[in-house]
Amino acid sequence: MKRSKLSRRITWHVIGIMSFFNVLIIGVILVFVFRVSLMNSDMRGQYVASGIEGKIESLLWAVHVGAANSRDEVERSLDSSERVFDALEHEITVNQFLDCFAAFEPDYFKEQGRWFEAYLYHADSTRLERRQIGSP
């Protein structure tokens, strides 16, 4: 009887020690996998951020160039409000992802009222919409 109690205790100790080391090994593996996964997701995040940054920079550059072109075009068309809309329409067809507007000093075009802001935008993929949005 003493022998079976001793062998049981030894068996339980061995099982306990093996379980501890199994849990320890699994924990180390999980920590390693987590850290590698974290590094990979960080690198993927940096690639995504770099791509977005590049797209934003190119969009901002296009807006800058479009604004400069629009200004020149509008300045050549200051003799009538209709020509201002035509100039904006030319720019918006060249830069299809932009909407355009031009704001003027009060009473610049008296026939349009005190406040005149020509606004041209894409109503849908095939149609442009003109609006006068000026107000105090």
> Number of folded domains in the chain?
1
Q: Work out the average pLDDT over 22-45.
A: 91
Using CB atoms within 10 A of its CB, is residue 127 exposed (0-12), middle (13-18) or buried (19+)? exposed
Nearest to residue 115, comparing CAs of 131, 91, 92?
131
What's the pLDDT tens digit per position in 14-33? Answer: 999 999 999 999 999 999 99
Is pLDDT larger for residue 136 or for residue 88? 88
More confident residue, 54 or 72: 54
Strands (E), 1-136: 100-103, 117-122, 128-132
Q: Quick one: pLDDT band at residue 1, thresholds 50, 70, 90? A: low
Structural domain span for residue 60: 2-132
User: Can you tell me the mean pLDDT for 33-45?
Assistant: 87
Name the pLDDT band for 136 (thresholds 50, 70, 90): low
pLDDT at 28: 95
φ, ψ of residue 125 to 5 degrees: the values are -70, -15
Look up residue 34 and give its amino acid: F
Distance CA 115, CA 103 (A): 8
Residues 67-124 pLDDT 10s: 777 777 788 888 888 888 888 888 888 777 778 888 888 888 888 888 888 888 888 8
